[in-house]
């Protein structure tokens, strides 16, 4: 009986739908890849912009100020 219950999930997994959405093992939300541009102050006191590609989920969302 367990086999029948799993068949639908197995079909989706085979189709690759589930695999394409990585989920965070800590919070369980889908991990988004976001492109961030943040100002970084250098030692001389002026700002540069740092480009960053970051993986975003509920865990680090507050830390990134989003
Ligand atoms: Zn997380």
18-50 pLDDT, tens digit each: 567 889 999 999 999 998 888 999 999 999 999
Report the separation in Å between the CA atom of 16 and the middle of ligand 1, taken as the mean of its atom positions: 22
Report the separation in Å between the CA atom of 2 and the middle of ligand 1, taken as the mean of its atom positions: 30
Give the number of C-alpha atoms closer than 13 A to the C-alpha of residue 65, restricted to the C-beta side: 3
Report the separation in Å between the CA atom of 61 and the middle of ligand 1, taken as the mean of its atom positions: 9
Report the separation in Å between the CA atom of 7 and the middle of ligand 1, taken as the mean of its atom positions: 28
Per-residue tokens: 60: 């680090």
Angle among Cα 52, 26, 23 to the nearest 5 degrees reads: 65
The DSSP bridge partners found for residue 49 are 39
65 or 51, which is more confident?
51
Would you say 64 and 56 are in contact if contact means Cβ atoms under 8 Å apart?
A: yes
Tell me the pTM: 0.49
Which residue ranges make up each domain of the chain? Answer: 21-66
């Amino acid at each position: 009986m367990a086999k029948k219950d799993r068949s639908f999930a197995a079909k989706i997994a085979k189709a690759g739908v589930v695999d394409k959405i990585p989920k965070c093992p800590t919070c369980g939300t889908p991990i988004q890849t976001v492109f961030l541009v943040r100002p970084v102050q250098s030692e001389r006191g002026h700002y540069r912009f740092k480009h960053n590609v970051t993986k975003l989920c509920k865990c680090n969302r507050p830390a990134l100020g989003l």
